[in-house]
């Protein structure tokens, strides 16, 4: 039976839900991290504490281990797949914030220690959560890289789209359909159940397929127009797909 690789977008539910369960100064610190603007002193501190040796990490990890489904929205969505014991790899995509990176590192340790998943990696996506356009492009790059890597090893690739920002998630869902991901799922906010989304039967227009093959490196506009219709090049520039 094929093993599964799960690509997981990670938000800050781990620290938000841990805060009410700890006492004293740590509770206030976690609340501050969850509210902090990316790159702020509080957020930088969260990233600096994203290591198993820190007291903050140990405290949050212990809380997560006691009640993982209530503490982590990402794990709650992933739970049915974990119980089937087919998950052999996970890629955790954090936003460009210390808080999200902290949560992703806690999840990495949990998946390794409690479920024996040996291949768990954390990727902090540059500009994600700071600059919408740049962050989205970087997220799509990270997603594409993970899909190719896991798919190349013969794994079924699933996308857990529960965590992170909703506008980006909508675009990532469409991109995942183009990339050939096997399944996209998330926790429905109202029903509180895992919902599997159908993979859309999408494909690139022939002009854009040609464009994708050519864009491994910068090219001159006239070279593109020799291989593609000039109107297609103009449209790609207008839509922001190409930058002159």
* 6-58 pLDDT tens trace: 999 999 999 999 999 998 899 999 999 999 999 999 999 999 999 999 999 99
pLDDT at 223: 60
Rounded average pLDDT over 70-97: 95
Class of residue 11 by CB neighbours under 10 A (exposed 0-12, middle 13-18, buried 19+): buried
Max avg pLDDT among 146-160, 168-182, 214-228:
146-160
Q: Are 147 and 180 in contact (CB under 8 A)?
A: yes
Domains of the chain by start residue, with CATH: 4-197 (3.40.50.10770), 206-238 (no CATH)
pLDDT above 80 for 130: yes
Distance CA 16, CA 224 (A): 49
Average pLDDT score over residue span 116-132? 95
What are the start-end ranges of the E strands in the chain?
Answer: 4-10, 87-94, 119-124, 156-160, 183-187, 194-197
Pair 210, 233: CB distance under 8 Å = no
pLDDT at 195: 79
- What pLDDT, on a 0 to 100 scale, did the predictor assign at position 172? 81
pLDDT band at 176 (very low <50, low <70, confident <90, very high): confident
The two beta strands, 87-94 and 4-10, are parallel
SS3 92: strand
Q: What pLDDT, on a 0 to 100 scale, did the predictor assign at position 100?
A: 97
pLDDT tens-digit map of 137-167:
889 889 989 999 999 999 999 999 988 767 7
d(CA 57, CA 52): 6
76 has a pLDDT exceeding 60: yes
């Amino acid at each position: 039976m094929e093993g599964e690789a799960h690509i997981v977008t990670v938000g800050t539910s781990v620290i938000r839900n841990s805060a009410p369960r700890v006492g004293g100064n740590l509770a206030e610190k976690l609340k501050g991290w969850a509210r902090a603007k990316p790159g702020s002193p509080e957020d930088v501190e969260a990233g600096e504490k994203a290591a198993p040796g820190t007291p903050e990490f140990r405290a949050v990890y212990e809380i997560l281990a006691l009640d993982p489904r209530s503490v982590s929205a990402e794990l709650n969505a992933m739970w049915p797949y974990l119980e089937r014991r087919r998950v052999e790899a996970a890629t955790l995509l954090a936003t460009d914030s210390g808080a999200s990176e902290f949560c992703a590192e806690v999840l990495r340790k949990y998946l390794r220690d409690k479920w024996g998943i040996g291949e768990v990696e954390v990727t902090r996506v540059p500009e994600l959560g700071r600059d919408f356009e740049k962050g989205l492009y970087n997220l799509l790059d990270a997603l594409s890289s993970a899909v190719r890597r896991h798919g190349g090893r013969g794994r079924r690739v699933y996308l857990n789209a529960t965590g992170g920002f909703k506008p980006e998630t909508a675009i990532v869902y469409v991109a995942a359909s183009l990339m050939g991901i096997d399944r996209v799922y998330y926790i429905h906010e109202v029903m509180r159940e895992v919902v599997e989304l159908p993979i859309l039967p999408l494909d690139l227009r022939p002009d854009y397929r040609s464009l994708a093959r050519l864009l491994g490196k910068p090219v001159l506009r006239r070279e593109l127009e020799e291989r593609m219709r000039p109107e297609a090049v103009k449209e790609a520039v207008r839509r922001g797909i190409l930058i002159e």
